[in-house]
Each structure stands twice: as C-alpha cells, then as structure tokens.
Structure 1
Amino acid sequence: MTTITYPVIPGAGAFYYEGNDIGILLCHGFNGTPQSVRDVGTALMEKGFTVFAPRLKGHGTDPEEFRQSTRRCWYESMEAGIRLLRERCRHVIVVGQSMGGTLAMKAALAGQADAIVTINAALSVPGYACHATDDVCRFIDEDEPDICAPGVYEIVYDKVPTSAIRELLALIEEVRPMAAEVTVPTCVIHSAIDNVVPPEDSMWLYETVQAPKQREVLEQSYHVATMDHDRERLADVIGAFCEQVATAPKM
C-alpha cells in the first residue's frame, strides 16, 4: 500500500523558541495551524519563555490527511511537544486556542501539564452539531475564520471532513464531563463575542474547575483571539499567569 506524504503549507509548520526554564506549549485549534498562535508565541519568547507550538496531525497540509486524522492523533501531537519541553524546562504550561484548549484540559487530566490556559475552549460547537451523525457528506465548506480585526489571514482549509468534525465532537464528549477533575492551576480566557463557541461554555468551565483559577474576558476579539485585537493582552495575561505558576510555593 502506498503511503502519501502531504507537504506542510508554507507558514503552517511548528515553531520553537529557546528561553528560560518555563516552557509554554501553544496549541492551535481545529482546522488551524501554529501560524494562528505565532504572534502570541513571539511575544512570550520576548518575555523570556521557552515556547513550542506543535502542528497537530492532519492540520496545515491537505484536507485528505485531515480526513484520516483522529482525536488520538491530535493528542499525540501535543504529547510529543510536552515531552520536548519536559526535557528542557522545569515547568510546562499548556496553552490552547479553541480545540487546543480542550486538548489542554485532557493534558491536565492526564497529569501532563503543570498548569493550563484555555482560550475560547471548544466545549461545544453548535455549528457542527448537525454533522455529528453525517455519513453522507465527506466534506463541508468551512466559514471564514471568526476574527474581528480586518485584514487578518489565517491558514485554514476551505473545506473540512465530516469525519474530523465527528472526532472533534467525540473529544468534547470525552473531556467536558471531566472538567471538575482538573486540579492544576487554570486560566480561562474567552472573548465576550464568539461566533463559533458560546462564551457561556468558558464561564461554565471556570465555575466547574476545582483548582486555583482565574478568568479573563477579551472585549475586542472574536473566536480566534490569538490573531485578533487582544493578542498583545493575551500574551501579557499568559506570561503573568505562567510566572505566577512557576514561582508559587510547592504544596
């Protein structure tokens, strides 16, 4: 059987910045790529942190490879990044945008993260709900990225496989009921207006997590907040939270 290798779209690859002993893993969302978190990653690097943004399997290449990927593949991509940071850093904080936030929760539940930051975490995606049992259409057209700032270009596929949507919904179904079991320090960040994921989901997450926690609301950004008006504030909030985690006395 011939194995097809799909090239990575220019600009969509993983990136790594060497810094101090506080490692930050930045995880992009469903149908996104590391390009969507690069501005925040660069700002965190300038603050002195070690930063790694993995490219999740099936993302940033070809929709056909996306169709073949699974939630297990996506988590394994994150796990590999966590291992890389563990080899170099004393602390590892996982920061996730959208589905990346859901994967960050999974990492916390597995004891693989010292703390997590969720940014508009995907705990439900109403626009995808109708495809939960869709076994007729292989692909659907994807909407434009939900970004308030004008002229911002995000690398995404213009069509997404319904099989990948089902994997995303299964990931949410797996992780959401366990939110109360997250016990590591958690920073819940969400946009006031989000046309993809209901902001109420992040409010619920903040109330449910049984851990030291904080919540931040972004007033000037939509769903892809890491590329939106508040991206500089995001980097400041994440940086301060990571410093707080790293300097907190051990229990």
Structure 2
Amino acid sequence: MKPQKRLVDPFYFPGNPVGCLLIHGFSGSPSEMRYLGERLAALGWTVLGIRLSGHGTTPEEMANTRWEDWVSDAEAGVTELRKTCSKVIGMGLSMGGLLALHLATLDLVDGLVSMNSPMLLADRRTRYVRLIRPFRKFVTKPKPPITAQVPSDSRVTQLKPERFVYDKIPIDSLISLNKAIHKVRRELKHIKCPALLMQSRKDFTVDSASVQMIRKYIQACEPEVLYWEHSGHILTLGTERDEVVLKVHEFLQRYNKFL
C-alpha cells in the first residue's frame, strides 16, 4: 500500500528570517515533523521539513542508502534555507536529531534542537546486528506501546494516520546508523551554538542516558535539557506535543537576538 503523499512529502512554510530545518528519524518520514512544522510556521518562523534519502518509499529503497546520503540531504536543507533566511536552526527527532548535532559540529547551523537523539540505543541487540548480516537483509521493527506514541486526547482517528514509518529495517542502513552514532559522539565537543536537548521518559527506542551524554560532551556551550514525562519516542506526535512546540518557540525567541 502506498503512503499518503501528505505523510511523506517534504514541506516548506515561508516566514521570518530565522529558518527551522526539521529532520525526521531513521526509517520514518516528514510526517513525524509536520505537526511541529505547521505550529512553528503559524508562530511566524520559516520552516523546511526534508525527506531523507530512502525514506517515505520502501524499505528496499532505504537499503541502498547510508549515513553519508542523509548528511547530504541535511546539508542541502541548510543551503536551501540560507537562500531566504539569515539564520538556520537544525531541529531533529531521533536520527534527525543526530543529524542536527552533526550539522552543528561543522558550524553549519546557528542553533539546534535535539529530540530523543541516540548516543545509545535501548535495544542492545542493535549493537550486534552486523553478526546476522550474512543471513538477513532486514530486521522487523519492534512496536512500542501505542499509548506512548499517540496523544490520548487526539481527535485524529486510525482512519487518518499521522505518521508513515517502515515496519522493517534494512540491516546495512542500521549498521551505518550505529557507526554514525559513534562518529557524532566524538564530534560533539566542537558544538558552540545554542542548543535545546529534549528526552522522553517513555522512550523505548533511545536509551534515556543519551541526553546526558550529549550534554556532557558539548563543552563549549551550556545546553538546556528538558525531560518529557508522558511522551514516547515520537515526541513530536506524543501527548505533550503542544508543550514541545511552545518550548521550541520559546527557545527560538530567547536566542533570536543572539543568533
């Protein structure tokens, strides 16, 4: 079944001279970031939500992509926003947050918002996925409790899904992600821009210790750290998503005069 175009298509909303680059997660799609993007745009910020290579199509297409491809996509997003914006803020969920951190280590963005970005994955089996590579090309993606992912007070029904994500993961792409986590961790000391770090307490994908690791390794600035008590891994679509929008907006307002 083909996904709805609205769930997988990139999106752009023009606004003020501060551009927000929204980056979705591993095996996900722009649908994870659209709610945040629409709300930020309504508050006046310029927003670009990109689709990473191999995402929003099929797992088989994703199997042909690696970290280097996703980095190129993120860098292209920065370039696009620079055409109309004087400042660019990288904002990412999960691997999207890892990409935002990577952009910051290269001094390509003027600020960053990291949401549930991995330094450690919760499922320890992912560390040994290379061992099964000779025998399998994909692994089934575990499903966390739906209550940790979908707003209990949401009026969106199952007939109108908010997110498109693969149900299986290419092993080669996962191996590439594991390598990238270690690479970005070594680079964090180079980050100097303002940073907002968020972590969900009910995240079953990323080890919650990750946010403190990021905070520790970022030595040149003092990042703000926020924990979310009732949200799962997909923080941008969880029960506290409206509060997330507000905190991101406040972060942008607070640092806009310095950006």
TM-score with structure 2 setting the length: 0.89
Alpha-carbon spacing, 1:92–1:200, altered in 2? closer, same or farther (3 Å)? same
Are 1:149 and 2:151 counterparts? Answer: yes
Tell me the equivalent position of 1:180. 189
1: CA distance, partners of 2:51 / 2:166: 14
Could you report, residue by residue, the CA deviation over 1:59-101 in whole angstroms, capped at 9, with x for unpaired residues? Answer: 0011111000010101111111110111110110000100011
| Alignment partner of 1:118 is 2:114 | yes
Give a deviation string over 1:218-246, Cα, whole Å, max 9, x none. Answer: 11101110110111111111111112222
What displacement does 1:153 show? 4.7
**2:8 alignment partner, SS class:** coil
Shift of 1:35: 0.4
CA distance in 2: counterparts of 1:107 and 1:65, whole angstroms = 25
Q: Please tell me the residue identity of whatever aligns with 1:165.
A: L
- The Cα of 1:133 is off from its aligned counterpart by 3.7
Q: Deviations over 1:25-68 (max 9, x none)?
A: 01001011110111111110011000001000000011111000
Report what 2:203 is aligned to. 194
**For residue 75 of structure 1, what is the aligned residue in structure 2?**
71
Aligned equivalent of 1:4: none
Residue among 18, 30, 34 paired with 1:34: 30
Name the aligned partner's letter for residue 137 of structure 1.
R
Q: Shift of residue 181 of structure 1?
A: 2.1
Q: Read off the aligned partner of 2:197 and give its amino acid letter.
A: V
Aligned pair in 2 of structure 1 residues 9, 68: CA closer, same or farther (>3 Å)? farther
Counterpart of 1:16 in structure 2 is: 12
Rounded to whole Å, the distance in 1 between the matches of 2:143 and 2:173 is 18
Residues of 2 paired with 1:21 and 1:133: CA distance? 48
Alignment check: 8 A CA contact 2:122 2:204 kept? no
Displacement of 1:205 after TM fit? 1.2
Q: Distance in 2 between the 1:133 and 1:185 partners? A: 39
Query: Are the structure 2 counterparts of residues 53 and 239 from structure 1 closer, same or farther at C-alpha, using a change threshold of 3 Å?
Result: same
Q: Over the residues paired in the alignment, what is the CA RMSD in angstroms?
A: 1.7
Residues 154 and 8 from structure 1, CA distance in 2 versus in 1: closer, same or farther, beyond 3 angstroms? closer
User: Which digits, 9 at most, give the CA deviation of each residue in 1:168-189, with x for residues without a partner?
Assistant: 1011011012222211111111
1:132/1:237 Cα in 2 relative to 1: closer, same or farther (>3 Å)? farther
Letter of the 1:205 partner, please give it: I
Q: 1:87 to 1:153 in 2, by over 3 A?
A: closer
Aligned to 2:88: 92
2:56 match: secondary structure: coil
| Mapped partners of 1:237, 1:143: distance in 2 | 30
For 1:112-161, what per-residue CA distance to the aligned partner results, in whole angstroms no more than 9, with x for missing partners? 01011100001122422231343221011112366153566521111111
Structure 1 residue 203 displacement after superposition? 1.7
Q: Kindly state the Cα deviation for residue 111 of structure 1 after the two structures are TM-superposed.
A: 1.2
More deviation, 23-32/169-178? 169-178
Give the counterpart of 1:207 among 201, 216, 222. 216
Residues 197 and 169 of structure 1: is their aligned pair in 2 closer, same or farther, counting only changes over 3 Å? same
Q: Does 1:168 align with 2:164?
A: no
The structural deviation recorded for 1:9 is 5.4
2:235 aligns to what?
225
Q: Measured at CA, do residues 34 and 133 of structure 1 come closer, stay the same or move farther in structure 2, by a change above 3 Å?
A: same
Q: 2:247 aligns with which of 237, 247, 251?
A: 237
Deviations along 1:189-231, one digit per CA (max 9) or x if unpaired, are 1112211111111022123212132111111101110110111
Deviation larger for 39-48 or 129-138: 129-138
Q: Can you give the 5+ residue segments of structure 1 that lack an aligned partner in the other structure?
A: 1-6
Matched, 1:129 2:138: no
What is the aligned-residue identity percentage?
A: 28
Which residue identity is paired with 1:28? Answer: H
Amino acid at match of 2:21: L
Structure 2 gap ranges (5+): 153-157
CA distance in 2, matches of 1:115, 1:68: 31
Task: Look up the equivalent residue of 2:151 and give its one-letter code.
Answer: A
Change over 3 Å in CA distance of 1:86–1:8 after alignment to 2: farther
Length-normalised TM-score, structure 1: 0.91
